[in-house]
Amino acid sequence: MDEEEGRQRRQAAAAPLLEKKTTTTGEGYCIEGCPGCAVERRKALSAGIPYGSFLFVWIVTLCTVSPLLR
């Protein structure tokens, strides 16, 4: 009985305390909170040209360059 109990304790100790939450996608898996996985999910959801992202980059570029043009 002691040997079996020791084996169970070793198995319980070998299990990770904090398991990563993963979700499956079409081609692989994603880890919650991973920025790369978030980008991949966004790309999978939208098939068109990301005009909103282009507009954001354009506005940030104009705001950054505007003090240099004065």
CB 52 within 8 A of CB 58: no
Query: What is the domain partition of the chain in residue ranges?
Result: 19-69
Return the closest-CA partner of residue 37 out of 21, 19, 53, 60. Answer: 21
pLDDT tops 80 at residue 22: no
Query: What pLDDT score does 37 carry?
Result: 84
**pLDDT digits over 33-54, tens only?**
888 888 888 888 888 888 988 9
CA distances from 52 to 48, 63, 67 (A): 11, 17, 24
Report pTM.
0.43
Give me the helices (H) in the chain, please: 2-14, 35-45, 51-65
According to DSSP, residue 17 is labeled: S
17 or 63, which is more confident = 63
